[in-house]
Structure 1
Amino acid sequence: MLALARHGRRRRRHRIAAPVFNAVSSPIASINVSIARPMDADELREVMGPQVVETARAVTALGTELAIDSGRH
Structure 2
Amino acid sequence: MADIKYEILEKIGEISVSPKGWTKELNLISWNDRPGKFDIREWDPEHEKMAKGITLSKEEALKLRELLNKIDF
TM over 0.5: no
TM-score (norm 1): 0.27
Higher strand share: 2
From the two aligned structures, give the one with the greater helix fraction: 1
Greater relative contact order (Cα < 8 A, sep 6+): 1
